[in-house]
Amino acid sequence: MALNVYLAGEIHSDWRADVIAGCADLDITFTAPVTDHEASDDCGVTIMGAETSNFWHDHKSAKLNAIRTRLAISNADIVVVRFGEKYKQWNAAFDAGQAAALGKSLIVMHQGEHQHALKEIDAAALAVVTSAEQVAQILRYTLTGNVPH
Amino acid sequence: MALNVYLAGEIHSDWRADVIAGCADLDITFTAPVTDHEASDDCGVTIMGAETSNFWHDHKSAKLNAIRTRLAISNADIVVVRFGEKYKQWNAAFDAGQAAALGKSLIVMHQGEHQHALKEIDAAALAVVTSAEQVAQILRYTLTGNVPH
Amino acid sequence: MALNVYLAGEIHSDWRADVIAGCADLDITFTAPVTDHEASDDCGVTIMGAETSNFWHDHKSAKLNAIRTRLAISNADIVVVRFGEKYKQWNAAFDAGQAAALGKSLIVMHQGEHQHALKEIDAAALAVVTSAEQVAQILRYTLTGNVPH
Amino acid sequence: MALNVYLAGEIHSDWRADVIAGCADLDITFTAPVTDHEASDDCGVTIMGAETSNFWHDHKSAKLNAIRTRLAISNADIVVVRFGEKYKQWNAAFDAGQAAALGKSLIVMHQGEHQHALKEIDAAALAVVTSAEQVAQILRYTLTGNVPH
Amino acid sequence: MALNVYLAGEIHSDWRADVIAGCADLDITFTAPVTDHEASDDCGVTIMGAETSNFWHDHKSAKLNAIRTRLAISNADIVVVRFGEKYKQWNAAFDAGQAAALGKSLIVMHQGEHQHALKEIDAAALAVVTSAEQVAQILRYTLTGNVPH
Amino acid sequence: MALNVYLAGEIHSDWRADVIAGCADLDITFTAPVTDHEASDDCGVTIMGAETSNFWHDHKSAKLNAIRTRLAISNADIVVVRFGEKYKQWNAAFDAGQAAALGKSLIVMHQGEHQHALKEIDAAALAVVTSAEQVAQILRYTLTGNVPH
Amino acid sequence: MALNVYLAGEIHSDWRADVIAGCADLDITFTAPVTDHEASDDCGVTIMGAETSNFWHDHKSAKLNAIRTRLAISNADIVVVRFGEKYKQWNAAFDAGQAAALGKSLIVMHQGEHQHALKEIDAAALAVVTSAEQVAQILRYTLTGNVPH
Amino acid sequence: MALNVYLAGEIHSDWRADVIAGCADLDITFTAPVTDHEASDDCGVTIMGAETSNFWHDHKSAKLNAIRTRLAISNADIVVVRFGEKYKQWNAAFDAGQAAALGKSLIVMHQGEHQHALKEIDAAALAVVTSAEQVAQILRYTLTGNVPH
């Protein structure tokens, strides 16, 4: 048994590295969106030419990023979505919706302050956690049946 | 040709009534989430018994609401999602993600200030608008081919 | 909005009639397995000829019943499964598994004594209740947004 | 040709080891649920924090276990479900229902005493057997065309 | 509950009329292939122009007939396939294969002499019968739960 | 039996009206793209605001039109695509590709001069014709089994 | 590019070996039903116990064989079905129907005498041939673009 | 993360080689139609025998080519379609339609002169470019997150 796990959501902390480090000995392939904020915002116009309006500037990049994210979500067995403390993070919720509709196992990671606002997404998840360590423990349990001591 | 349209998202303004009024002569069935905020928040514990933690209180209601929203999204030909000016509105983005993954035609409605934060969702939409009148015009064009003068 | 609801499981009490009576004013189509125990057990050999072994006797009837139950589950928006106090009721759990795999909204109804044994099925459900009245309240809320007083 | 086989159901005897030993020379990947009863029951609260009610205690663990079992069933070519002599084993029937709805080849293993109660599940199976040796013989025949002497 | 039933296979006896007559009081929509042998064989060249080879003559008609049969099979809840005493009837077996792959409930009707040759198709069926009367009884049981006296 | 038929492709002749007139007595629902060329080209900017580049001008309208065409193709039992004598008509071929991938019965209508260039699309079709009369005859045969005299 | 090819149908000649030999240098995985006639007929009762009726004797074996054939068809990119000169070969036509319904590329192999009886199956095929050499040439062309001299 | 990319469309320039060269260091499997024009046109009659009409000559080859192209499109994560300056290229638009309906990420490559005629296809794409270099840059960004300097 091997796992393909997509790590969606917040890109301003090291949580992805923490999850991956916690699973270093397990047969898991991790994927993620492009986490270089500038590249993610400007890839479209850089490759396909400048736009005069913000809307089309963003549109071109968002579609390029969709090539990667749609593929990663559709190939994933498990989608982990982390909601950070800041920003609207609607793309995180959008990824969670895609994952739910495709029948992926969904793990949601957020702090308690967002609990009420995230209740619909939590209700679609198979696990709701607050830390990268818990995500790693769940992935380990899924693959090996071992629980932490 | 008839349409089944789900009106997702913001529940603190009259935009749904405006869309419906603008399409009164068209063969469209509109559905929506429960927009009574209190009923939506408390339906679970009211029917199935109180909980001591906020998480499970919300969880029970969110799951009950999911019966309705999942069904409405999966039956819809078109999903319209409005993002208002306030709140996190992650459930709106979550609904948009489900609609996109199920191949529904997606119309997104929001003001310019949220443009950058909503770029991924806008990129998955077939139309991005700012007013209920525009939604009604699009639905009318889809059914009749008539454009506004 | 209308609902198609399949009432699966226990056939030795009046719970189906209670659910239906509680929804008499709602636009719901209810389906159910054949609840005449003798007809259900013997339909196969009655129509297609006797068998000398119990296994094939039951096999013929179980397959005839599957024509109805598979169709009803696949046409349902919501599947309600009641586990009674007696018997193995593996067919109820089997129906719940089919409903879950097909992405149907699942409502499970049972008493507290079976809670631990049904935890996997409860975990796949959008609501877990103990009474037919609660099922009716959930169906009413789903269609109308009204919660009981 | 290779096979991916999920061994569902009863966890209190050595039947999984017997099937696997009987297929040691064949190109088969076996998966199974977590069979450590205590870990399976408590994984949720151990990783995600204690609950005061039995229902939510079990709920958290059942959902974690669902990550593994759903994935294993959806990846399987063949699902073998064993019903033992004791307990309700509704999760075994639930797994069988999921396997049937997903179009998996289903092999059911049980003793004669449960024949009538399992008739619906047997009717959905491609083979009904009583021993691990027979399961191994069927897997061998499927891969090699060899029948036992 | 209503049924959509496709009556496939043999076209040289009155079995379809017998099934339909036996279900005259039931809410069933019956469909069938074009049973006018000459029209079925020549429709293609009559509408789209003559061919010099038998292969393309038959090809054109077979494709026109496929418009009707594919649609009828895909819309059916139940597919009944009758194998008569004469001819190769490969199209009947081909229809049965399509029905099985699409997850339709399959009822096969043939006499005992063909039992061994039809074992693979019978094994995919939910009922194997010899008469139109039995087909009608099964459809009646499926809809009403009534078994014949 | 009733049919839902989408009439795709060329919009500069009366072929749609001819097909519909030839089927006036049959139970067929016809759909079509918006055939008002100007409305189709400008609907996007008329409703959602002007663009300075031709690309985005066309983009907005093409996406609005996609709401209608995707829905019509996905609801159709049969897709008829006519290639006229003029223009590139890539959208006609694009519609044919969507219809083929969705398993719709495809009827292609064109003159002999385009035969070689359309060979891949013809090869995916169940009928290739040159006139609206032939389309009507095929639809009539599909529904009634009647061939023209 | 690699191919997975299922060789269905007639088991009384060496055509499978001829196809495989003709593709010895290509990246193709071939699968086939069990072609040992006796094993195929008796596997069910040999493993699961004798039956007194021919119907159930055949039923048990046909279902065991279905584990292999369903899996091989669903994993195949291309299904080749050969109809020999003798016997009813309804299982060959049944396999062809499954392949067609699952959207597999279908190659049919038969002599001219069966042309009219096989017209529906030929019409669903992407190639109709008479020899194993032609099958090998088609597979070679599909993988390499090379045509025979 | 690895990619499977199908390069559809124009076969009279070296654009495929340019894309592949630009991605030489990336984990991408490229597939393409048979680009030997003569082989593609005549494969059918060469392998399966001559035809007297152009229509059936082309039909046989187009179906053989469909074995390869359907498989390649259905296995692809990304479909790139190039429209050249000459010819009708309806098969390119047909491939784009299949890719869109199957939910593949679509990249369209063409010069500005075709912009209006390709607006429906561009509207279904995640990227519209003019050069092979841009295609390679997009594939590199998708896999690595690196944008060109």
**Reported ipTM:** 0.97
Residues of G in contact with D142 (CB under 8 A): 64, 67-68, 71
pLDDT at E36: 95
Q: For residues G45-62, give the mean pLDDT.
A: 97
pLDDT value at E118 more than 90: yes
Q: For residues H55-63, give the mean pLDDT.
A: 98
pLDDT value at D87 more than 90: no
Confirm or reject contact between H112 and chain A (CB < 8 A).
no
Alpha-carbon distance A60 to H137, whole Å? 14
Alpha-carbon distance E7 to D139, whole Å? 36
Q: Which of H95, H117, H124 sits opposite F88 (nearest CB)?
A: H117
Closest alpha carbon within chain F to E32: F1
Q: For residues H132-143, give the mean pLDDT.
A: 98
Q: Tokens 């561009």 sit at which residue?
A: H122
pLDDT at C62: 98
Q: Which residues fall within 8 angstroms of residue F63, CB to CB, at 6 or more apart?
A: B126, B127, F44, H123
pLDDT tens digits along C3-25: 999 999 999 999 999 999 999 99
Q: Which of G78, G147, G148 sits opposite H67 (nearest CB)?
A: G78
pLDDT at C105: 98
- pTM, whole model, 2 decimals? 0.97
Closest alpha carbon within chain F to H60: F123
Whether residue A59 contacts residue F56, with contact meaning beta carbons closer than 8 Å, is answered with no
pLDDT value at F86 more than 90: no
To probe the interface with E, which of G53, G79, G90, G110 has the most E CB atoms within 10 Å? G90
Whether residue G5 contacts residue H71, with contact meaning beta carbons closer than 8 Å, is answered with no
- Name the residue among B12, B2, B4, B29 with its Cα closest to residue B79: B4
Backbone angles phi, psi at G55, to 5 degrees: -60, -50
Q: Which residues fall within 8 angstroms of residue D49, CB to CB, at 6 or more apart?
A: none
Q: Which of C36, C48, C71 sits opposite E134 (nearest CB)?
A: C48
pLDDT at C33: 97
* Neighbors of chain E with 3 or more C-beta pairs under 8 Å: C, F, G
**What one-letter code names the amino acid at G119?**
K
Q: Tokens 């403390």 sit at which residue?
A: A85
Alpha-carbon distance C29 to C48, whole Å? 31
- Name the residue among G73, G63, G144, G136 with its Cα closest to residue G106: G73
3-state secondary structure of H30: strand
Cβ–Cβ below 8 Å for A141 and D48:
no
Alpha-carbon distance B123 to C10, whole Å? 49
Q: Do chains E and G touch (3 or more CB pairs under 8 A)?
A: yes
Beta bridge partners of G80: G7, G107
Confirm or reject contact between H78 and chain G (CB < 8 A).
no
pLDDT value at A46 more than 90: yes
pLDDT at E63: 98
Whether residue C24 contacts residue C142, with contact meaning beta carbons closer than 8 Å, is answered with no
To probe the interface with G, which of E74, E85, E90 has the most G CB atoms within 10 Å? E90
* Neighbors of chain A with 3 or more C-beta pairs under 8 Å: B, D, H
Closest alpha carbon within chain G to D143: G68
Confirm or reject contact between F143 and chain B (CB < 8 A).
no
Residue D24 DSSP label: T
pLDDT tens digits along B88-110: 899 999 999 999 999 999 999 99
Percent of chain F with pLDDT over 70: 100
G117 Cα to chain D: minimum distance (Å):
31
Structure tokens at H44: 């059918």
Residue A117 DSSP label: T
**Pairs of residues, one from chain D and one from chain G, whose beta carbons lie less than 8 Å apart:** 54
Q: Do chains B and G touch (3 or more CB pairs under 8 A)?
A: no
Query: What's the Cα-to-Cα distance from C32 to each of C40, C75, E146, rounded to whole Å?
Result: 12, 12, 14
3-state secondary structure of E55: helix
pLDDT at H43: 98
**Pairs of residues, one from chain A and one from chain B, whose beta carbons lie less than 8 Å apart:** 127
Alpha-carbon distance E81 to E118, whole Å? 11
pLDDT band at D101 (very low <50, low <70, confident <90, very high): very high
pLDDT at F78: 98
pLDDT at G59: 98
pLDDT value at G86 more than 90: no
pLDDT band at G85 (very low <50, low <70, confident <90, very high): confident
Cβ–Cβ below 8 Å for B148 and F47:
yes
- Answer positive or negative: Cα dihedral of G79, G85, G91, G94: positive
Task: Return the C-alpha torsion angle H20, H21, H23, H29, nearest 10.
Answer: 30
Cβ–Cβ below 8 Å for C47 and E77:
no
How high is the mean pLDDT of chain E?
97
As averages over each run of 10 residues, the pLDDT of chain B (149 residues) reads 96 96 98 96 97 97 98 98 91 98 98 95 98 98 95
pLDDT greater at residue G22 or residue F88? G22
User: Mean pLDDT lowest for which of A119-123, C75-79, E140-144, F88-92?
Assistant: F88-92
pLDDT band at F1 (very low <50, low <70, confident <90, very high): confident
Confirm or reject contact between F132 and chain H (CB < 8 A).
no
Structure tokens at G58: 């055949």
Please report the residues numbered 9 through 68 in chain A whose beta carbons come closer than 8 angstroms to any beta carbon of chain D: none
pLDDT band at F60 (very low <50, low <70, confident <90, very high): very high
- Name the residue among D133, D90, D87, D83 with its Cα closest to residue D110: D83
Q: How many CB atoms lie within 10 A of CB D133?
A: 16
Alpha-carbon distance A136 to A140, whole Å? 6
- Name the residue among A20, A45, A46 with its Cα closest to residue A32: A20
Residues of D in contact with A126 (CB under 8 A): 63-64, 66-67
pLDDT at G87: 82
Return the percent helix, strand and coil in chain H, to nearest 5. 50, 15, 35
pLDDT at F85: 86
D64 Cα to chain G: minimum distance (Å):
29
Q: For residues E20-31, give the mean pLDDT.
A: 98
Structure tokens at E50: 């003559």
Residues of C in contact with E1 (CB under 8 A): 31, 71-72
pLDDT at B87: 82
How high is the mean pLDDT of chain D?
97
Q: Do chains C and E touch (3 or more CB pairs under 8 A)?
A: yes
How high is the mean pLDDT of chain C?
97
Residues of G in contact with H68 (CB under 8 A): 141-142
Q: Which of F65, F96, F115 sits opposite H94 (nearest CB)?
A: F96
Q: For residues H53-80, give the mean pLDDT.
A: 98
Closest alpha carbon within chain D to C86: D88
Q: For residues C25-34, give the mean pLDDT.
A: 98
pLDDT value at G1 more than 90: no
Cβ–Cβ below 8 Å for C66 and E141:
no
Closest alpha carbon within chain E to C29: E1
Beta bridge partners of D9: D82
pLDDT at D1: 87
- Name the residue among E123, E68, E72, E132 with its Cα closest to residue E102: E72
**β-pair type (B78-82, B127-129):** unpaired
- Name the residue among B117, B129, B25, B17 with its Cα closest to residue B80: B129
* Neighbors of chain B with 3 or more C-beta pairs under 8 Å: A, C, F
Q: Tokens 């209503």 sit at which residue?
A: E2
pLDDT tens digits along F129-149: 999 999 999 999 999 999 998
pLDDT greater at residue D88 or residue D53? D53
Q: Round to the nearest angstrom and report the end-to-end CA distance of chain B.
A: 23
Q: Which residues fall within 8 angstroms of residue D15, CB to CB, at 6 or more apart?
A: D7, D82, D109, D132
Sheet holding H78-82, edge to edge: H28-31, H3-9, H78-82, H105-109, H127-129
Q: Which of C61, C83, C97 sits opposite D101 (nearest CB)?
A: C97
Q: For residues A117-136, give the mean pLDDT.
A: 98
